[in-house]
Amino acid sequence: MNGVHDMGGMHGFGRVEIERDEPVFHEAWEGRVMGMRRLVQQLPGMRLPGRPVIESMAPIHYLTASYYERFLHTLETHAVEQGLITREELDARTELFRQHPAAPVPRRSAPTEAARAIASFTSQVRPEPSGPPPQFKIGDPVAARNLNPVGHTRLPRYIRGKRGVIERVNGWYRLQDEEVEGLGPNPQTVYTVRFPAREVWGPRADPHHIVYLEMWEGYLEPADHAARPSGEIGALFEETRT
């Protein structure tokens, strides 16, 4: 969607600080949030709409929340919407621990659920067994379509209208945009697309840098259908073809 939640390519957020030997979770509660999220997603008939809920957060809330705080927000919102807890009960409990940080936290042992959550971290999403034939092949010049959907999308704003080359064909995967809208899985081919940094960021970008993106087929069109010619990217196409 077009909003503050699509932060890719946005300026003004400072350097990306690389932490040496960065742990998977900086705090124990982050791991618990991730575990709860995985378990809820595995419940029969349960559908946890993560990104749409995150994208409904007010901009100031979104920008000041950490990665796992955003996931916690989706769990809380889902619990309220499902009638598992009221907003008043949730706010009262939050205020209790804010006023009394040392208050004991209710806990229970659930080794089976814990083992299932841990196992889910090592599983990999596999391609769907069938879907429509791919429209593109390795080496094809393509352009990211200039789409501006109202709802959820995995098409970043900064890549729309930019030209690249198909690097890899990855198989069929569920199109999450349509799943969010309740339209079913609708698998599409996902491609790895290579974009030169200067195509994405302009002539001042390092000519040796490359941006790789995993993109659903519906986000792409043949490069000759795009509105803008590009001499540099055209040369890249010829190089790739040979």
The DSSP code sequence of 115-137 is HHHHHHHT--PPPBS--SPPS--
The separation between the first and the last C-alpha atoms of the chain, rounded to the nearest angstrom, is: 37
Q: Is 242's pLDDT higher than 50?
A: no
Mean residue pLDDT of the chain comes to 84
Q: Is 15's pLDDT higher than 90?
A: no
How many C-beta atoms lie closer than 10 Å to residue 58's C-beta?
9
pLDDT of residue 185: 62
How many C-beta atoms lie closer than 10 Å to residue 52's C-beta?
14
| Per-residue model confidence as pLDDT tens digits over 67-120 | 999 999 999 998 898 888 999 999 999 999 999 999 998 888 888 888 888 887
Which residues sit opposite 142 in a β-bridge? Answer: 164, 222
For residues 175 and 45, the model is more confident at 175
CA 20 vs CA 17, 23, 24: distances in Å? 10, 9, 12
pLDDT of residue 79: 86
Domains of the chain, with CATH numbers?
Answer: 28-121 (1.10.472.20), 141-241 (2.30.30.50)
Kindly indicate the confidence band of residue 222, based on its pLDDT and cuts at 50, 70 and 90: very high
Kindly indicate the confidence band of residue 45, based on its pLDDT and cuts at 50, 70 and 90: low
How many C-beta atoms lie closer than 10 Å to residue 157's C-beta?
18
Q: How far apart are CA 191 and CA 215, in angstroms?
A: 5
pLDDT of residue 84: 86
| Listed range (130-134, 150-154, 205-209) with the worst mean pLDDT | 150-154
pLDDT of residue 178: 61
pLDDT of residue 35: 86
pLDDT of residue 240: 45
Kindly indicate the confidence band of residue 234, based on its pLDDT and cuts at 50, 70 and 90: low
User: For residue 163, what is the enclosing H or E element?
Assistant: strand 163-173
pLDDT of residue 46: 60
Q: Is the dihedral of CA 168, 174, 177, 183 positive or negative?
A: positive
For residues 62 and 13, the model is more confident at 62
pLDDT of residue 220: 96
Q: Is 192's pLDDT higher than 50?
A: yes
